[in-house]
Amino acid sequence: MVTKLFMLTGTDSFLERKKQQGLHATIIEVGPRLSFTTAWSTNAVSICRACGLNEVTRLERSRRYLLFSNEPLLETQIHEFAAMVHDRMTECVYTQRLTSFETNVVPEEVKHVPVMEKGREALEEINQKMGLAFDEQDLQYYTKLFKEDIKRNPTNVELFDIAQSNSEHSRHWFFAGNIVIDGKPMDRSLMQIVKSTWEANRNNSVIGFKDNSSAIRGFMVNQLRPVLPGSTCLLDLSARDLDILFTAETHNFPCAVAPYPGAETGAGGRIRDTHATGRGSFVVASTSGYCVGNLNMEGSYAPWEDSSFQYPSNLASPLQILVDASNGASDYGNKFGEPMIQGYTRTFGMRLPSGDRREWLKPIMFSAGIGQIDHTHITKGEPEVGMLVVKIGGPAYRIGMGGGAASSMVSGQNDAELDFNAVQRGDAEMSQKLYRVVRTCIEMGEKNPIISIHDQGAGGNCNVVKEIIYPKGAEIDIRAVVVGDHTMSVLEIWGAEYQEQDAILVKAESREVLESICKRERLSMAVLGTINGEGRCTLIDSTAAAKCKKEGLPPPPPAVDLELEKVLGDMPKKTFEFNRVSYAREPLDIAPGITLMDSLKRVLRLPSVSSKRFLTTKVDRCVTGLVAQQQTVGPLQITLADVAVIAQTFTDLTGGACAIGEQPIKGLLDPKAMARLAVGEALTNLVWAKVTALSDVKASGNWMYAAKLEGEGSAMYDAAIALADAMIELGIAIDGGKDSLSMAAHADGEVVKAPGNLVISAYVTCPDITKTVTPDLKLGDDDDGVLLHVDLAKGKRRLGGSALAQVFGQIGNDCPDVDDVPYLKNVFEGVQALISEDLVSAGHDISDGGLVVAAMEMAFAGNKGISLNLDSNRISLFETLFSEELGLVMEISNKNLDAVLEKLRGFNVTAEIIGKVTDSPLIEVKVDGITHLSEETSFLRDMWEDTSFQLEKLQRLASCVEMEKEGLKLRHEPKWELSFTPSWTNDSYMSKDAKPKVAVIREEGSNGDREMSAAFYAAGFEPWDVTVSDLLAGAITLDHFRGIVFVGGFSYADVLDSAKGWAASIRFNSPLLSQFQDFYKRPDTFSLGICNGCQLMALLGWVPGPQVGGSLDTAQPRFVHNESGRFECRFTSVTIKDSPSIMLKGMEGSTLGVWAAHGEGRAYFPDEGVLDRMLHSDLAPLRYCDDDGSVTEAYPFNLNGSPLGIAAICSPDGRHLAMMPHPERCFLMWQYPWYPKSWEVEKAGPSPWLKMFQNARDWCSQL
């Protein structure tokens, strides 16, 4: 046992320190709270169990700080330091060395609240004590409910239950309520207004305004899926009718309090919303957004930020929120295996002319997801008597208490300790296991055992269980819930918002099937009760009942015994009264002498305008292999794409597109214009993907307002009416969305309201995912590239609410608007017609920063120059260049110019030539014939990238950031060359009945198996889904296979280092180890390890193999943390060298791009002799290279710092190959984010990387 633990955790003592003479030493140790088992521990224990260490039930890591001082540290100093280095929400200070995880916590008993005796006063007291967020109407209703209707005292569990499941967060009282403005009752609720768009334009909608997501009609496709889901089996194509799904959430309150875990669980909750739609659905990709206050970033140039502003101590700073929240969301998605393919970022903090301070002290953390759902599963089944109420997912912990109620308050109203208690913590690896169980069920098609499914979110069990049993009712045993902390009270088990849980309904006869699936995926399952038809939620405690029985006492009354209709049914509507408020305004005043360059120095650094590289590099944008368009574009992979596109399958070209629109700063001037602009921006982003029709576009509308504060409710109502009118006129519709209506916080003695925001996420079906236009300029002098401006404002150039105004500390008085909605429709359809005929080579919307920034960004991304020549039409230079009126900029070849203009005229759309594209990387701007700017593209791009690089230095090794920043100035189009021509796999292979079998092996946390299976399928193999648990159980042996693949991902969430847990589960199970060793030695077999699988093969000693690496673990090469210190995802260049590798045969001499996404990919050679022998034998076949194709160690070309650019290692006989990059995510050309025009390939065809898998197929045929 000890040997195994040493292998897993290491043997070096981190306590050994050399004392410094004459100084006082103080050790401060911090670690997880004893009552809270971390996600890290959960994964570490899973590793131990996989290694046969069943005695280990908890394994935590702490941090010890050794401080030296001239004098003994005071107790206050120790406390101050400890507060700086630990998160009080999840950690505590260990005052003495731990010998046990036991605590003295005694679970609190269920209590009765004396409403019958004290009436409303009793509810007011517990409301304050527990932070239940009951308002005046709640207090009246619940006092009457218990005192006059039910006629008994409620329990504290019942009141907590009601507070969470009937909070504003959960029930959306405001949206559905009666609205009174200026004393006049409005004739429609907000919900009715927004829903009117869907009622007018349902068209292709299949799920709208119900369930956890919305969905639109998709296509019949051929999906690669297991033939016997839930067991070891082959994957084959299956004709399925798959619809496109979309959902969007915000997690604002948790991110204000604890940004990293708040964003983790925001992303995780939204993922569960995706997969818990209908009777279960497929997760594909995500989008994200962040709105925070002024960053006040040291060393940055941001003169518009007010240094006098104070920030609340109970909330994280805007800078910390932006960095930590984006890290939390990114890391969670990376570990789960969901690519993040789109987003937005905005900062704002200003004292307005009215005297109001407006700032996102309570931030927006926006998370949305696009997925798919089998058309047969779009409708949840109704509960029937006898059905089982089942919970699947991770165990319960004392976390997230009262999140639903807490998030419904203005920050600062609640007790700070209650706020911290209300934030949840995430476990992405558990989430992935949960999704695999759901996916297995839905891939059973008509035999799907899930009748209904709801994800656990706000309110925990007390909300999700009531939802799943409504209206029939059930008796629930609280002790059936799987807990990770046995000191939890009934209240805590019932109300805690622990994550990664679903409630499902199944028929009794499906129980065995579900148990089998959960066992295979190592996920806990618990039957909590049975639908009984009594219409009540009755919560019993079987443990307490058994104790009473043993003592001869009557059973205790239920902790909850409520009639569902009275707490979940049609409850009385609430009424909200508002007055419209007119705010003082001042016209925009730019001081005389301010030049275009002066303005650009500010505008290009504003986060809403500047590069978002700091967000995209750290997030996986290629996992699943179904990403057809993500954020980065062009030869330099600049973060700029307007639209995101997913494919439905690997064999069809149909898919879905989504785009975001939001313009909150304009809303400070005109909420109605803001709403129309949000719709307009979403459509001018979406237009660059070829869609089935504008009338097929649906959207999620997410509202973030301080709605109940002065002026905000009426502004929101006016925005909703404008939104509905515009959408109905366009023929599109809102089909879902969420609201967050307490967007304010207390700071420096005042209530600071966030700017009201409406985020429109438009999504639609795509008939051909290859017809997507990106912003990077592609033409030049030889192609005679022309820039066209399509002006949706028809000459108006308003500057109110613009980036220019913000960077000069103003908002102006007159903002842009969509004055001609039908013209927007014409433009959309006209540009779609151009895209259908491939007449647009590049396109970009005009948004934050205006026309001049849009054109510059296109040049930045294409590494080109532009010469703009504009007419002012008698308005100012700043209005001409920086107005954010809706519009488009298109790059057109001059030879197609007449055809383009003619086709646009057919849609009554006009376009103006505003400039040309040049190969010389110089940006020139002329207005009325006067040159106002002539600068190198790289100089201006550096300004645009500056803020992003400043933020990167807070997240990555500063020297790496500086190297990338300086290197960007000298970048050019990569010189990629192919030594072969890619082609589809020979029909003789594809049509064979008996194909070589390849085992695609995955472990807990692996996430790259489906795209790997698709790549091998495309090469003529028969891919099989094999888990390590299958092999341990003897369900299959490796004797059946010619090839095995260890896939990428985060096995055991990379706990105890990448792939170490996976390697240990093989090495410490003798029969399994023997199987792998026998397979390795068989001369007719091959193996491939990608990313996490590459790390595993190195730890197993499979590469370079015992002949080269020897048999000592200490001498084996391995892959360690990236030099930059963090996970990175890049489309990077590699060159293929001569080697014995069977999979790279015939590819030698090629230099090409490939996806790479990892945090521990740096090749490390403890024994230099091994490296020398490897190189001498040509066993490093893949190397990272620079834009010139030269092997490099320079960052970021070599994204992990591997010596000599080593990206792969093979065995001397060539049968075993381990590589960090991901060829399986780019074996099709539409998966390539960019490729040179010189390549003679079709975007709908195979990529060069398919040959790697075809080589393995050829090799199998030769033996």
**What pLDDT digit, counting tens, does each position of 745-781 carry?**
999 999 999 999 999 999 999 999 999 999 999 998 8
Element housing 1158 (H / E)? strand 1151-1158
Whether residue 533 is predicted with pLDDT greater than 60 in this model: the reply is yes
Q: Which two tokens stand for residue 1010?
A: 């489906």
Residue 462, C-beta contacts closer than 8 angstroms, at least 6 positions apart: 157, 160, 161, 164, 165, 494, 495, 560
What is the dotted CATH code of the domain comprising 2-94? Answer: 3.30.1280
- The confidence score (pLDDT) of residue 1256 equals 99
Angstrom distance (rounded) from CA 863 to CA 920: 9
Residue 216, C-beta contacts closer than 8 angstroms, at least 6 positions apart: 204, 205, 206, 243, 244, 696, 698, 735, 763, 764, 765
Contact 631, 641 (CB under 8 A): yes
Residue predicted with more confidence, 38 or 863: 863
Mean pLDDT throughout 497-512? 96
Whether residue 404 is predicted with pLDDT greater than 50 in this model: the reply is no
The rounded percent of the chain whose pLDDT value lies above 90 is 86
Whether residue 252 is predicted with pLDDT greater than 80 in this model: the reply is yes
The band of 27, judged by pLDDT with boundaries at 50, 70 and 90, is: very high
* Nearest Cα residue to 241 out of 223, 262, 261: 223
Element housing 413 (H / E)? none
- Which of 3.30.365.10, 3.30.750.24, 3.40.50.2300, 3.30.1330.10 would CATH assign to domain 202-222+243-293+318-379+642-709+733-772? 3.30.1330.10
Whether residue 451 is predicted with pLDDT greater than 60 in this model: the reply is yes
Angstrom distance (rounded) from CA 1158 to CA 1049: 9
Question: What residue spans in the chain does CATH classification 3.40.50.880 cover?
Answer: 987-1262
DSSP codes of every residue in 1064-1080: HHHHT-HHHHHHHHHHH
- The confidence score (pLDDT) of residue 33 equals 81
Angstrom distance (rounded) from CA 538 to CA 562: 7
Each residue's pLDDT tens digit, 603-651:
999 999 999 999 999 999 999 999 999 999 999 999 999 999 999 999 9
Mean pLDDT throughout 234-250? 98
Q: Which amino acid is at 933?
A: L
- Which of 3.40.50.720, 3.40.50.880, 3.50.50.60, 3.40.470.10 would CATH assign to domain 987-1262? 3.40.50.880
Annotated catalytic residue within 338, 1004, 1022, 1224: 1224
- The confidence score (pLDDT) of residue 410 equals 55
- The confidence score (pLDDT) of residue 5 equals 72
- The confidence score (pLDDT) of residue 169 equals 67
How many Cβ atoms are within 10 Å of 543's Cβ, its own excluded? 12
Query: Which superfamily is assigned to 603-611+773-971 in CATH?
Result: PurM-like C-terminal domain (3.90.650.10)
The band of 397, judged by pLDDT with boundaries at 50, 70 and 90, is: confident
Contact 438, 280 (CB under 8 A): yes
Question: What residue spans in the chain does CATH classification 3.30.1280 cover?
Answer: 2-94
Please say if 1222 is a catalytic residue: yes
Annotated catalytic residue within 377, 1158, 1216, 1222: 1222
Residue 221: phi, psi to the nearest 5? -140, 170
- Residue showing tokens 């987003």: 343
Of 115-129, 440-454, 946-960, 1205-1219, least confident by mean pLDDT is: 115-129
Question: How far apart, in Å, are the Cα atoms of 1083 and each of 137, 1019, 1100?
Answer: 77, 21, 18
Whether residue 568 is predicted with pLDDT greater than 50 in this model: the reply is yes
Please say if 1091 is a catalytic residue: yes
Q: Which two tokens stand for residue 751?
A: 């209530």
Each residue's pLDDT tens digit, 693-740:
999 999 999 999 999 999 999 999 999 999 999 999 999 999 999 999
* Nearest Cα residue to 411 out of 364, 457, 368, 355: 364
Angstrom distance (rounded) from CA 127 to CA 397: 23
Whether residue 185 is predicted with pLDDT greater than 70 in this model: the reply is yes
- The confidence score (pLDDT) of residue 423 equals 58
Whether residue 562 is predicted with pLDDT greater than 70 in this model: the reply is yes
Q: Both ends of the chain: CA-CA distance in Å? A: 43
* DSSP annotation of 146: I
Annotated catalytic residue within 255, 537, 960, 1091: 1091
How far is CA 857 from its chain centroid? 25
Each residue's pLDDT tens digit, 479-492:
999 998 888 999 99
> Mean pLDDT score of the chain, rounded to an integer?
95
Whether residue 567 is predicted with pLDDT greater than 90 in this model: the reply is no
Whether residue 42 is predicted with pLDDT greater than 90 in this model: the reply is no
How many Cβ atoms are within 10 Å of 1070's Cβ, its own excluded? 9
Whether residue 440 is predicted with pLDDT greater than 80 in this model: the reply is yes
- The confidence score (pLDDT) of residue 896 equals 98
- The confidence score (pLDDT) of residue 14 equals 45
Angstrom distance (rounded) from CA 73 to CA 163: 46
Contact 35, 398 (CB under 8 A): yes
Q: Which amino acid is at 446?
A: E
Each residue's pLDDT tens digit, 1108-1160:
877 778 889 999 999 999 999 999 999 999 999 999 999 999 999 999 999 99
On the question of a cis peptide bond just before residue 471, with omega within 30 degrees of 0, the verdict is yes
Contact 664, 715 (CB under 8 A): no
Mean pLDDT throughout 1160-1165? 98
Each residue's pLDDT tens digit, 137-173:
889 989 999 999 999 999 999 999 998 877 776 778 8
Angstrom distance (rounded) from CA 984 to CA 994: 19
The rounded percent of the chain whose pLDDT value lies above 70 is 97
Rounded (10°) angle between helices 1060-1067 and 2-9: 150
- The confidence score (pLDDT) of residue 773 equals 99
- The confidence score (pLDDT) of residue 497 equals 87
